[in-house]
Structure 1
């Protein structure tokens, strides 16, 4: 299975009803854009994304963009991100929830 990224996912959730796996990533991959060790985004969407993968075929069948995650290991008194990175799914409505960028709110998405 190729998710088109070199990053490890921040979170994983499985929708058994539709045989889908959702993998959350912080931001687009950094790739060289110039000379030695000059990195930049080839995708200018600076928010995170969730890859939606068909478990039967292993192919990515969709992408959810615009999700944001707190910095690694940050703690603002509300959420310890190194232990609580999570996706919650409702297969009946194909709706999901994850933590917002500041770690104090929940953001909803559809997949």
Structure 2
């Protein structure tokens, strides 16, 4: 199956518009009821894999505030930098951060921690 030609530019699109996307999404939690329901079904020691976590707001931030460990994966380095900043501003440890080629990953477990070692 072939893909649309613009799919090759999606990462750079998110990198260019990361701040605007974050401003729009951070305070627009339209899926809150779904995420609250999801959280209610998780065991206390759950770890959630958030694929396409973006800036981490509002979903990852909500889950972390609720005590859930979150592994965030995003292909946009700019979005992940915003995530790191947002988590740091919440008083969580985000000192370790990895960027793996076109894929960036972070993990929060008692703060943000590196999940995968650099594979470059």
TM-score normalised by structure 2 residue count: 0.26
Higher share of residues assigned helix: 2
TM-score normalised by structure 1 residue count: 0.27
Higher share of residues assigned strand: 1
